[in-house]
Amino acid sequence: MIEHTLTVAGVTVDARHWIGGERVASAETFTDVSPIDGRAIGEIARGTPAQAAAAVAAAKAAFPAWAATPRAERARILHAVADGVEKRLEELAVVETTDNGALLRSHRRGVMPRVAHNFRFFADWLLKLDHEDFETRGHTNHVSWDPAGPSVLITPWNAPLMLATWKVAPALAAGNTVVLKPAEWSPLTASLLADIAAEAGLPAGVLNVVQGYGSEIGDALTSHPDVRRISFTGSVPTARRIAASAAAHLTPLSLELGGKSPLLVFADADLDLAVDLAVEQYDNAGQVCLAATRILVEDSVAEEFTRRFVEKAGQLTQGDPREEAADIGPTIHPRQLEKIDGFVRRALDAGARAVIGGHRKDGRYYAPTLLTGVTQDSEIVQEEVFGPVLTLQTFTTEDEAVRLANDTRFGLAATLATGDRARAERVTARLVAGTVWVNCFFVRDLRAPFGGSRQSGVGREGGSWSFDFYCDLKNTVTAPNGWSQDHG
């Protein structure tokens, strides 16, 4: 007998889909396993193409009424969703830590408050979304943002709820309806979000959640003729499949993909700050697309930088992410752990040296690793590992630093440590990246555009850029006369 509800860290979570305002079971399930101890959390409804299509149908049916809902009312409901998130913040935090292994203290203090902020921000931005009218030879141009329609949102496992709501909130604010497909390795908080949204008064069918494997239901979602927008965060190979699937109907895509971001450390930088920035890249066990995994250090300070890095990294505590003292948790899945270890073993076989780490630990933990002796064309430098593995290379000149930084197929982010403002301006202007941080890291503002260059993505979201994507922009041009009736 299939159990429809699970108890996760004392919290009840429904394991079924959420379609058209109702819980929907599947004949088959998949097992959700906690990366903390490898124990099964429970069985999750395994979606079928028919259920994916049903979710799109529910979104299509709900779209006209939601699109016609006044902006102020949509914003009110989104604020109510944020209230619900804040009310259940502790429950969301403990469930997500159990499900994906990220630090509980981070979920409590940063991630879940950010989830609520995502809804509040886009609700407020909706109310001020406007473009000043302008004239052309006496004719008035008026720009409007029309809701596009049902949107399929496919989200990753490394920050499940935060990254889901980064998409869900603007899509709903724009007047679109949503089918959310969470990653199968971390589906639980998406189910809780469905409950919270329903309690907040979001109409049935406006938000739908379908769980399962992308290989089984992905094409049914991304190739559906009634889907008007697709937003995906994940790997480049999966993005290629989604783009090919969406091509039949020319469905607009927003893709936030992988990264191999550099951290450039110049000799004039505050070395303690630079070391702090470098060690911070181990956050979430290195399972962060924005992580600056390629450390590029000016050769005159490389030895001292490395010494301080080893000392600082040695202070990190790796262990149970539910413990307050933990700095690094586990890798989410045995398959991911094997992938990380494979990258490192091949790099060591090719001549790299592990200054720290370079090996697995008990369970699903991988030791924080720093590799030196790597070449620019090596796999470990060119390919995304998505684990706690950094490489260190040196440079002599500013031109060489920029060349090395830009010499991958990615362009998601870059971080720069320097004490010279003019150098910072020169270098950032030449870096290929969607986001550049100077003497800081991971400072994110929802007003800013976010996305990647090259194979790190297509499009930008955030602020008005999100509404530009989730809406059909319309320009209405009106003649100054010709009215047979004018009621003022």
Catalytic site positions: 256, 289
Cα 461 to Cα 86, 122, 162, 291, 329, distances in angstroms: 24, 11, 14, 19, 29
Nearest alpha carbon to residue 78 among 186, 189, 203 = 203
User: How many residues make up the chain in this entry?
Assistant: 488
Helix locations, 371-453, DSSP H: 379-382, 398-406, 421-430
Cα 209 to Cα 146, 179, 292, distances in angstroms: 24, 6, 32
List phi, psi (to 5°) of 231: -125, 130
Give the containing element (helix H, strand E) for 295.
strand 294-298
* End-to-end CA gap in the chain: 66
User: Which residue is it, tokens 């971001």?
Assistant: 261
Distance CA(162)–CA(182), nearest Å, equals 12
Q: Please check whether residue 456 is in contact with residue 258, taking contact to mean a CB–CB distance below 8 angstroms.
A: yes
**3-class secondary structure, 99:** helix
Nearest alpha carbon to residue 152 among 30, 37, 82, 249 = 249
Nearest alpha carbon to residue 397 among 264, 244, 254 = 264
| Amino acid sitting at position 4 | H
User: Which residue is it, tokens 């030879």?
Assistant: 137
Name 337's Cβ contacts closer than 8 Å, sequence gap at least 6: 331, 360, 364, 366, 387
List phi, psi (to 5°) of 227: -85, 130
Name 145's Cβ contacts closer than 8 Å, sequence gap at least 6: 129, 174, 467, 468, 471, 472, 473, 474
